[in-house]
A and B are shown apart, each in its own frame.
Chain A
Amino acid sequence: QVQLVQSGAEVKKPGASVKVSCKASGYTFTSYYMHWVRQAPGQGLEWMGIINPSGGSTSYAQKFQGRVTMTRDTSTSTVYMELSSLRSEDTAVYYCARARDYSSSWGLGYWGQGTLVTVSS
């Protein structure tokens, strides 16, 4: 069965960077796009970007361009999301989510458990 297991909660100071991992299992890692979505406390879902695990190509939401980097390691079936220059507004639960179909990059059919990132001085 498809599983996405994310790294644990993080506490960071303003200005620092955070790197969240998402280890995939139960399917062919390179066949499905992976997205990152975040949710601030009491707020809605926010799309951050997408990575193609096959070639590593990425697209980032305009809001995060210049601050976010998404990478993958095919040897361990893991994708990473690094966010830099953290500020208090970045406090949120960060999710990785896999596309449902190999034929489409959209439709997030499988989600990780979420990683809480807290930014506080």
Chain B
Amino acid sequence: SYELTQPPSVSVSPGQTARITCSGDALPKQYAYWYQQKPGQAPVLVIYKDSERPSGIPERFSGSSSGTTVTLTISGVQAEDEADYYCQSADSSGTYGVFGGGTKLTVL
């Protein structure tokens, strides 16, 4: 079955830039989506269609795509950004969804 691969953890100091990658063979064909999840809460969509930001999401969140890898970038990381981040996409047919394993962002 189709898989998306994320690093288990990323650590940055406040004010620095965090980059979280997600790799998958179908990413050149299918959009990627990014979700932020804090403990005990439902996920929140922070990036859709590779690089679009929903209203209400701070401008420091951005997304990009290159080949089989997509990247979530958080510029000027704040303490409140500490959370788990998941990429999500679909298989090459667009029929079946898949989540990456998640990346725990730690703000030092």
Spell out A's residues near B (CB within 8 Å): 35, 37, 44-47, 50, 59, 61-63, 95, 97, 100, 104-109, 111-114
User: A44-B102, A100-B48, A114-B42 are known contacts. Are A107 and B33 too (CB-CB below 8 A)?
Assistant: yes
The answer to whether B98 and A47 have CB atoms under 8 Å apart is: yes
| Other-chain contact of B48, A45, A59, A107 (Cβ < 8 Å) | A107
User: A107-B45, A107-B48, A109-B48 are known contacts. Are A59 and B86 too (CB-CB below 8 A)?
Assistant: no
Interface residues on B, range: 20 to 34
Contacts of A109 in B (CB 8 A): 45, 48, 54
CB distance from A107 to the nearest CB of B (A): 4
Number of A-B contacts (CB under 8 A): 64
C-alpha spacing A62/B2, complex, angstroms: 11
The answer to whether A44 and B96 have CB atoms under 8 Å apart is: no
Give 4 new A-B contacts, CB below 8 A, not counting A106-B31, A106-B89, A107-B49: A45-B88, A100-B48, A105-B94, A109-B48
Residue ID in chain B nearest A44 by CB atoms: B102
The answer to whether B99 and A100 have CB atoms under 8 Å apart is: no
